[in-house]
Amino acid sequence: MRARAADLACLAALLAALLAWPLHDPGIWSRGEAREGLVVRDIVANGSWVIARRDGALASKPPFFHWIAAAAGEVVGPTDAVVRLPSALGAFAMLAATLVLGEAIGGRRVGLIGAAVLASVAYFWRSAIEARVDMVFAAAITVFVAALYLRDRRGTLAPAIVGTLAVVAASLTKGPAGAVLALGIAIAYLAAERRLGQLAALWPWPLATAALIAIGGWYVAAYRIAGREFLDVQLFHENVNRMVGLGAFGRHGSRSTHLPRAFAAHLLPWNLVLVWSARRWWRGEREDAAGHLLHAWWMVVVGFFALASRTRGVYLLPAYPAIALLVARALAPVRARWLLPAVVVLSLVMIASEQRSRLGEARRDVLVPFADRIAPRVADAAHLVAAPTLLENDALVLRYRLARSIRREPMVCERDTLVIAPAPSLHRATALGLRVVDAAGEGDRRIALLECPPG
């Protein structure tokens, strides 16, 4: 227990040192981060703790991620680093849960190797330093799986309580997918163990009832505030439509291959451990309970999201610890002293590479310097309008960077009205009599701030 506490303390200190710079620089410049940042600002500014908005549009995700950032924002303000803070905390929780589960499965060495392998995956670091809900969601699933195993092996109540809180956190981060994934992993694990009848014993009904009340209570409160709009945005659009391919989530031909390709590419070389596992199975070697858990874990995550009509590679993040611990079990018998330091060095290389990539992407983007230049000019403008042709992604970034509302409506030449227009609308703006105040970018990426001349 003392060694585990020391390991967790060292992990926290190392993460704090590694993430201090990436959380601040570059500033928020992508659409995904700006979207969450606007929600956090609304909570801090208007106290919208139940259901928040981003410049009038209802938040598209449940609020657990935003609650963490807003709580910190109440103290120091909703800065870029604060908006990204939940992801950094999620990274720590995910690594810590992997370390604890690995120790329970095979001792301290398995736990350390598993955490180091997880930290050596580039997409782990990208999610750890981005203001998006994926890392918090993946961390909650990882904590649940660790609690599931400890509850099953030791029979104590504390893991069941922790697992219940993790399910609530996952469900209030990304919707019903949190509870579905957790239940699916538990069922698959117990089915592989041929102990499916013990599911109810693992999670006593008072805890399951408490989880349902907590999750359902938020849904009821949000519905009472936002009504049908809440159901349309968060329940149907983000969950039902995304899964079955309705509305904006129309089915695409690459749907069936995107996630398997991401699984193969993002986790190299560590996913080759599945070949090792298949070879053991072919030779007739039996899996123990830990092996059943780890395989049930990654299979359920990949299978669940592969069914969705619209997916992203980062959806596989909750499966990363399962692969990392399979690798740790395979490598643990290798007693070479260089093994663990080599994986740690690889982890440091990966975060350095990710930070370099982010800085390069941010510097190539035209919106951030454009927004910084026009900020003093638009701060006192009575009206700031976005042309209908301005991409919503760009509008989100500009709303966040300029820290003010931007209405989307037809362009007009009116006194005290500034207009932001992209390249397709600039000819029309000139015809209306608007003149360019500032501009950035070239060709199709050109964007300009325009005003109506006096008189």
Extents of the domains making up the chain:
2-362, 367-451
3-state secondary structure of 417: strand
Question: What pLDDT is attached to residue 254?
Answer: 45
Cβ-contact 263, 298 below 8 angstroms: no
Question: What pLDDT is attached to residue 437?
Answer: 92
Q: Which residues are CB-neighbours of 16 under 8 A, at least 6 positions away? A: none
Question: What pLDDT is attached to residue 1?
Answer: 54
Question: What pLDDT is attached to residue 67?
Answer: 97
Distance between CA atoms of residues 441 and 443, nearest Å? 7
Question: What pLDDT is attached to residue 455?
Answer: 66
How many C-beta neighbours within 10 Å does residue 396 have? 24
Give the model confidence (pLDDT) of 394-447 as tens digits: 999 999 999 999 989 899 898 889 999 999 999 999 999 999 999 999 888 899
Query: Cα dist. 55→31, 46, 86, 333, 399 in Å?
Result: 14, 12, 22, 55, 8
Question: What pLDDT is attached to residue 235?
Answer: 84
* 386 beta partners: 408, 420
Question: What pLDDT is attached to residue 296?
Answer: 97
Residues of the chain below pLDDT 70? 1-3, 241, 243-257, 455
Question: What pLDDT is attached to residue 250?
Answer: 56
Cβ-contact 448, 426 below 8 angstroms: yes
